[in-house]
Amino acid sequence: QQQVKQSPQSLIVQKGGISIINCAYENTAFDYFPWYQQFPGKGPALLIAIRPDVSEKKEGRFTISFNKSAKQFSLHIMDSQPGDSATYFCAAMGGGNEKLTFGTGTRLTIIP
């Protein structure tokens, strides 16, 4: 059962553009929604996270938008740079345990 659906599977954006990755969840017990960034040969690393008491969180060029009623959240990368090329995973946690359920990942490529 896939509890967190992520799209698109891959994304190509020009340098300076906006990259947008979307996720949807099913379990209403989820109360923590992080995004992880993974470079080739490395483990995922936390990029930014949000809890459902706010609709948006911004850290530098990275913004999470959260829609609790629609059970959707998205990552926006402003002014995308070649160094942002990586695989991005959304995830969700909640229901009284520490299990992170990951989306299937988005391979982002920023082209000059």
Binding-site ranges for another protein (CB under 8 A): 32, 34, 41-46, 49, 89, 93, 97-105
Output 17 or 22, the one with its CB closest to another protein. Answer: 22
CA atoms within 13 A on the CB side of 8: 9
Least distance between another protein and beta carbon 57 (Å):
14
CB of 18 or CB of 29, closer to another protein:
29
Question: How many residues are present in the chain?
Answer: 112
User: Residue 14 CA to chain centroid, in angstroms?
Assistant: 19
For another protein, give the closer residue by CB, 103 or 110: 103
Yes or no: say if 63 and 55 are a contact pair by the CB < 8 Å rule.
no
Distance in Å, CB of 93 to another protein, minimum:
6
Choice between 96 and 112, CB closer to another protein: 96
Phi then psi for residue 84, to 5 deg, are: -85, -10
Closest contact distance (angstroms) between CB of 112 and another protein is 27
Q: β-strands 106-111, 10-14: how paired?
A: parallel
